[in-house]
Amino acid sequence: MQTDFNRDMKIGVTDSGVGGLTVVKELMRVLPNESIVYYGDNRNCPYGNKDKTTLLALAGGMIRTLNEHSRLKLAALACNTTSTFADDLRPSFEFPVISVIEPAVSATAKTNAESVGVLATCFTANSGCYDRMINNLLPKCRVTAVGSKNLAALIDTGNLDSDEIPEEISTCMSDFVKQDISQVILACTHYPIVQGIFEQMYPSIKFINPAEKQAEAVKEYLEKNDLCSSSKAPTFEIFTTGEAQIYIDMCSRLGIRQPDAIHTL
Ligand code: DGL
């Protein structure tokens, strides 16, 4: 383990696109003094329909690019799809790689739920990762995971008024409704961007946004290791393989401050 980490180093946040901004929002809330560098790989979105070999290369590449730009003290995988294989990524880096899934699972287990729905990408749903991890902690909990092929990509266009979004949500939610499931984890970081639409369509279902739990896990790690920044002028930079304007619009929509710089790759 590298020993020269310091408080002024940055937190790297990665996703296939704008979804990880839901994690940035929570990080800025619980750790307002931290500088953040974000990588959104919009050109390759959706990740959820790709294979693991491709995804491992893309996910590792994003973290390496951020670390070359500004040395990281921690990387947060703000992507459930790549978090399913966080253990495969961790040995490549000297700093911790924090998954979005583990903190969400621990929080869900504390509710002692009898059943829970997991709405994810196809890759995450097919990996069985949430099912396994929840059942490790709550063996009797009935976990139903559903994957959407389209929802992340629809949200990633930034056109959140599209009728296709509620149509896709209604298709994905039908299994949960049939089974009378009352708690659904929004297990793709793009989905909480339209959490309002979910809540409007299904007012009796509780939707869980894993971003909050991941931000708390990051805070806990930094505090334990005496790595919290006390900067009065934290920076926020974005690297993207997509369009800068989508980030400008999405930051406004999520109530996140505008980035100091957007680098298009
Ligand atoms: N936002 C990502 C996730 O949490 C990936 C969405 C995608 O590109 O398919 O899974």
Q: Using CA of residue 75, residue 77, residue 83, residue 88, what is the dihedral sign? A: negative
C-beta 214 within 6 A of ligand 1: no
Residue 224 has pLDDT above 90, yes or no: yes
C-beta 124 within 6 A of ligand 1: yes
> How distant is the alpha carbon of residue 36 from its chain centre?
15
Cα 191 to middle of ligand 1, angstroms: 9
Is 172 known to be catalytic? Answer: no
46 upstream amide cis, omega within 30 of 0: yes
* β strands within 61-182, DSSP E: 72-77, 97-98, 115-121, 142-148
Taking only the tens place, the pLDDT of each residue in 99-120 is 999 999 999 999 888 999 999 9
3-state secondary structure of 102: helix
CA–CA dist 42, 51 (Å, integer): 17
Residue 179 has pLDDT above 80, yes or no: yes
Neighbours of 167 (CB within 10 A): 12
Q: Give the pLDDT of residue 1.
A: 47
Residue 96 has pLDDT above 60, yes or no: yes
Cα 180 to middle of ligand 1, angstroms: 26
Structure tokens at 67: 């670390």
Catalytic pick among 79, 129, 141, 172: 79
CB 58 within 8 A of CB 35: no
The secondary structure element, H or E, covering residue 241 is none
Structure tokens at 26: 């929570």
- Is pLDDT larger for residue 3 or for residue 194? 194
Taking only the tens place, the pLDDT of each residue in 12-63 is 999 999 999 999 999 999 999 999 999 999 999 999 999 999 999 999 999 9
- Identify which of 21, 38, 47 to mutate to test ligand 1's pocket (most ligand atoms within 8 A of the CB): 47
Section 203-224 average pLDDT: 97
Which CATH code, of 3.40.1670.10, 3.40.640.10, 3.40.930.10, 3.40.50.1860, is assigned to 10-99+212-264? 3.40.50.1860
Residue 3 has pLDDT above 80, yes or no: no
C-beta 152 within 6 A of ligand 1: yes
Taking the CA of residue 46 as reference, the ligand 1 atom at the shortest distance is 8
Does the 102-210 domain belong in CATH 3.40.50.300? no
Q: Give the pLDDT of residue 4.
A: 81
So where are the chain's domains? Answer: 10-99+212-264, 102-210
Section 190-214 average pLDDT: 97
DSSP class of residue 256 equals: P
Cα 121 to middle of ligand 1, angstroms: 6
* β strands within 16-136, DSSP E: 36-40, 72-77, 97-98, 115-121
Residue 94 has pLDDT above 60, yes or no: yes
Structure tokens at 128: 């069985």
CA–CA dist 196, 193 (Å, integer): 8
Is 79 known to be catalytic? Answer: yes
The answer, as to whether pTM is greater than 0.75, is: yes
* Atom 2 of ligand 1, residue of closest alpha carbon: 79
Residue 151 has pLDDT above 50, yes or no: yes
Query: Do 10-99+212-264 and 102-210 show the same overall fold?
Result: yes
Q: What is the CA radius of gyration of the chain?
A: 17
